[in-house]
Amino acid sequence: MRKFLLPLSLLLAFTSSVHAAENTMRPGLWEMSATSDLLSLAEQIPPDQMQNLSNLAKQYGFDMPKIQNGAATSKVCITKEMAEQKIPPYLYHRQSGCEARNAIRVENRYTADLACSGNQINGQGKTEATLTTSESFTGRTEFKGQVRGIPVDESANTSGRWLGQSCPATKTGN
């Protein structure tokens, strides 16, 4: 069951991070981290199964982040265009079959409802993030539904910190 739920946990991890990408977020290279109960189990997964999970994560549109001590950590490039948008980019949501609805920004706090109706993930959730400075944020995402027909009720705490102005020439993700 873990192999089906970990991708959901990873989706939750990056959902909040995407919401923080508004016009007050500093463009450049960011380190995004997420913690959840499912991620704490990831280190027990054998390497061959972890490779299968990595392949599955690519189907959702992102690379498998580094998972250590119950946290998934990834580097993400926030472009100037992304940082200037009034509405956060929903790239990760659309690729997973999920979309953010009712996105609201009040000062430095962002909230949105999640609606997932894809082949792999089906259900609803809520995400929120608070941009504490232009170089850091914290957030939380909750989701209740099904992943490949298996009922889930999962949440993830997220955080992000700005690492520097320049991004590597490679695509976003870790």
Distance CA 121, CA 132 (A): 31
3-state secondary structure of 104: strand
Residue 109 pairs in a beta bridge with 106, 130
- The residue extents of the domains of the chain are 2-164
> Which structure tokens are listed for 131?
């941009």
pTM attached to this predicted model: 0.70
- In CATH terms, 2-164 corresponds, of 2.40.128, 2.60.40, 1.10.3470, 3.30.2010, to 2.40.128
The pLDDT profile of the chain, 174 residues, written as one tens digit per residue, is 444 444 455 555 545 444 444 446 888 998 888 888 877 777 787 888 878 877 877 776 666 777 888 888 888 888 888 777 654 544 344 556 778 888 888 888 888 888 888 777 889 999 898 888 889 989 998 999 987 788 889 888 989 899 999 888 644 444
Q: CA-CA distance, 146 to 169, in Å (whole number)?
A: 36
